[in-house]
Every structure is written in structure tokens, then in C-alpha cells.
Amino acid sequence: MTDELPGGLVLADVKAELFKSMGHPARIQLLEVLADGPVAVSRLRDYTGLEPSNLSQHLSLLRRQRLIVPSRREGRLFYELASPEVSVLLADARSLLGALLHTTRLNLSPDGEAPREEAIR
């Protein structure tokens, strides 16, 4: 199976970049908040507790990766998810984590030992 895009870009590399851009708890939190619809930057600060400069850096990275888009309304800056697939990806990640947690719990031994290695495959 070839996993390539036009121009020689390897799809696996592009996917890795996407996941890296989502690889920070603050960015996941921002995406989760935006899954409910557009939110003003001032509200994003309130929701996340991030300092303005830190928030700006995270938003900039998500914007460069085309996961979010900005808009202006009544002089205020808003952000929203660029596509509904971002919400789907977040929901799928929650589902996967739930399944992994369930599997891990099932594989715990009665004496409280750590889960067996195969629990997380």
C-alpha cells in the first residue's frame, strides 16, 4: 500500500504532524471547547486559564495546522473548528481511551498488580 500524497509528501508524515499539533493538553482543551461552536478569545482565556501569550501560541499552532479558523464579530476575535471532522476525531479519541481503560481494568489481577502488557495493544 502506498501512503503518498502528490508532491512526494508521505501521508504518515502529514498524520504525524497533525497528531503532534494536538499533542499538548492545552490544545486538546481548546479544541474540545471549540467543538461546541465559535468562542471569543477572551472566553477561551477564561475556560483554559492560559496566559494571553501562551494562549496565542497554542491558537497560532492550531491555526497553522488548519484545525481552527478565526473570524471577527462586532470587533471581537472568535475561533471555531475548521471542520466537523475535528470533533469526530476528538470523539473517537475519547472512545478509544474509554476502550483502553476498560480493557486495562479487565486485565488487572485481583491482587492489584499492574495490567498485563497485552492490555494496551
Count up the domains in the chain and report the number.
Answer: 2
Backbone angles phi, psi at 115, to 5 degrees: -65, 150
Is residue 67 domain-shared with residue 16, that is, in the same domain? yes
Looking at the fold, whether 90 and 66 belong to one and the same domain comes out as no
Which domain CATH number covers 76? 1.10.10.10
| Whether 69 and 112 share a structural domain | no
Specify whether 70 is located in the same domain as 87.
no
Against a cut of 0.85, is the pTM above it? no
Whether residues 41 and 1 fall in one domain: yes
Residue-range definition of the domain harbouring residue 52: 1-82
Question: In this structure, what C-alpha cell is assigned to residue 106?
Answer: 479487565
The contacts found for 12-19 with CB under 8 angstroms, 24 or more apart, are 17/65, 18/65
7 and 49 co-located in one domain? yes
Judgement on whether residues 57 and 105 belong to the same structural domain of the protein = no
Residues 75 and 51 in one domain: yes
Query: Looking at residue 77, what DSSP letter applies?
Result: E
What pLDDT does residue 14 have? 86
State the DSSP code for 37. Answer: S
Indicate whether 67 and 121 sit together in one domain. Answer: no
Do 73 and 92 lie in one domain? The reply is: no
Per-residue tens of pLDDT for the chain, all 121 residues: 455 555 556 788 888 899 999 999 999 999 999 999 999 999 999 999 999 999 999 999 999 999 999 999 999 999 999 999 999 999 999 999 988 888 877 676 555 555 455 444 4
Q: Do 106 and 95 contact (CB within 8 A), yes or no?
A: no
- The alpha carbon torsion through 38, 40, 46, 50 (nearest 10 deg) reads 100
